[in-house]
Amino acid sequence: LVHRSSPTHQTTVSIAGVPVGEPGLALIAGPCAAESERQLRTVAERLALMGIQLLRAGVYKPRTSPYSFQGLQEPGLELLRIIKRDYGLGIVSEVMSVAQLDRAYDVFDCFQVGSRNMQNFELLKALGQTRKPVLLKRGLAATIEEFLGAAEYIVAGGNAQVILCERGIRSFDPATRNVLDLGAVALLKRLTHLPVLVDPSHATGRRDLVLPAARAAAAVGADGLIVECHPTPEQSVSDAAQALSLDDLAQLVTEVSAVAQAV
């Protein structure tokens, strides 16, 4: 179901009215994690000025260590509900379990499946039963076949609103957090009709590499970007090294739009 039947077969997935999969770049931006009402309001106000209509912010965080901040959880859900009401942004946020999916259902406009859960098949089946968009991130070391197989679970369940996201894969070299697989983006654009986004933040792990990686993603034909930013990047509770300042994000928007127009 996820394979392309012809070169022009392309699906558009609409997140809170914002089309993903159409010419031009769809942009999703926000902090790695929701931390406070003040943080979210500061980001939301700037996104509105930049014309970005989709906010990312995790409230359920899949942390490597159980002793690290696990996200604000339910109080975070209530914050996102307020931000959505006050700023009219669409909310893209991660769920790691079916129970979280149920709790977040009326707040999230798009459910993010994180890299670590790409093959959480029970979660994928539950998302297949919903009628909301899903942003499926590529597993840490997933092959393209495994990635598309995971997407197939959701679509086979009856939910065709799936967006794929290349976020870098594991390699032997820790110099960058992950390796952005641009070849995979080009290949996915040929294999599937589903929209393909790139996450230059987790792909590189360094804020100084996010802009060049984002430009490359636009040039290779990605349908959009999901980018991490923070009002005070160095103070981010999670993923501080890769968070862009809000000024850097504005610069990125200008530069990638120019690239996308040239493609």
Q: How far is the CB of 226 from ligand PEP (least distance, A)?
A: 7
* Cβ-based nearer residue to ligand PEP, 228 or 262: 228
Nearer to ligand PEP, 22 or 39 (CB): 39
The least CB distance from residue 262 to ligand PEP, in Å, is: 28
DSSP labels for the chain?
--B-SSTT----EEETTEEESSSS-EEEEE-SB---HHHHHHHHHHHHHHT--EEE-BSS---SSTTS-----HHHHHHHHHHHHHH--EEEEE--SHHHHHHHTTT-SEEEEPGGGTT-HHHHHHHHTS-S-EEEEPPTT--HHHHHHHHHHHHHTT---EEEEE--B--S-TTSSSB--HHHHHHHHHHBSS-EEE-HHHHH--HHHHHHHHHHHHHHT-SEEEEEB-SSGGG-SS-GGGPBPHHHHHHHHHHHHHHHHH-
Could you say which of Mn ion, ligand PEP, none residue 62 binds, taking C-beta under 5 to 8 angstroms by partner kind?
A: ligand PEP
Give the interface with ligand PEP as residue ranges (CB under 6 A). Answer: 32, 58, 62, 114-116, 137, 167, 199, 202
Using CB under 5 A as the binding criterion, the count of chain residues that bind Mn ion stands at: 2
Among 29, 32, 95, 134, binds Mn ion (CB under 5 A): 32
Q: Residue with the closest Cβ to ligand PEP?
A: 114
In the complex, what is the shortest distance from the CB of residue 40 to Mn ion, in angstroms, rounded to a whole number? 15
The smaller minimum CB distance to Mn ion, of residues 189 and 202, is found at: 202
| Interaction site with Mn ion (CB under 5 A) | 32, 239
